[in-house]
Amino acid sequence: MIEDIFKKITEEYSNISAEAMYDWSEKIKIVAYKKRDILVKEGAYSHKFYYIIQGALKAYYRSDDKKITDWFALENDFIPSTTDPIHGRPSSHTIEVLEDSTLVTLDHDDLEALCKKHHDFEHLYRIILSKVIYQLRERIASLQFRTVQQRYDSLIDLYPKIESRVPLGDIASFLGITQETLSRIRASK
């Protein structure tokens, strides 16, 4: 099982030595979570790195008492750290489980230690971050000038089944619109 996951990750991003893989496997945990479990609470310093084997998560923060969802993660996605890497402030985000999920978790400190010990592991992680940057830029493009309809369509493109797995309110929030507007867009199809 673990082998399959490692294989999937390293094939997609970058290969690592058997040694690095062994050390990595020592540190990760595979954990099952239940719907509505909170993985990270706003304000917490501890932050793990999550990879989703099966299930769905969201990350949100609070602004004017509204919960704003700005990241979903489904199968084979990562949830990257939300903290400022330079100043090391606490997490501004809460990460919540949206459906019963199986995750690979790795402590932030262990991740740093693996990066320090194994050059190839740090390389792998660097490539993963490059991918995250690319995704974030896509998302900015989407928010910057596309219509609500276009943004909705590309989300469905990326996650075809998200509608049945994630509450409409969270999807609306992610798209930067109200629930009512999303409901109407959906109805017009």
Partner DNA sequence: ATAAGAATTTGATTTGGATCAAAACTTTGT
Partner DNA sequence: ACAAAGTTTTGATCCAAATCAAATTCTTAT
Task: Kindly list the residues in this chain that would bind its own copies in the complex (CB under 8 A).
Answer: 12-13, 61, 63, 66, 68, 70, 80-86, 115-116, 119, 122-123, 125-127, 129-134, 136-137, 139-141, 143-145, 173, 176
Q: How many Cα atoms within 13 Å fall on the side-chain side of residue 99?
A: 15
Between 123 and 146, name the residue whose CB sits nearer to DNA. 146
User: Does residue 100 sit in helix, strand or coil?
Assistant: strand
In the complex, the residues that contact DNA under the rule CB under 7 A are: 35, 147-149, 167-169, 176-184, 186-187
Distance CA 31, CA 180 (A): 36
Q: Which does 1 bind (CB under 5 to 8 A by kind): DNA, its own copies, none?
A: none
Q: Min. distance of Cβ 43 from its own copies in angstroms?
A: 17
Q: Min. distance of Cβ 34 from its own copies in angstroms?
A: 27
Alpha helices by DSSP H, 66-167: 108-117, 119-145, 148-158, 162-165
Find where tokens 């596309």 sit.
146
User: Does residue 67 sit in helix, strand or coil?
Assistant: strand
Report whether 185 contacts 168 (CB < 8 A).
Answer: no
User: Does residue 72 sit in helix, strand or coil?
Assistant: strand
Between 108 and 165, name the residue whose CB sits nearer to its own copies. 108
Q: Min. distance of Cβ 100 from its own copies in angstroms?
A: 27
Between 90 and 169, name the residue whose CB sits nearer to DNA. 169
Q: Min. distance of Cβ 29 from its own copies in angstroms?
A: 23
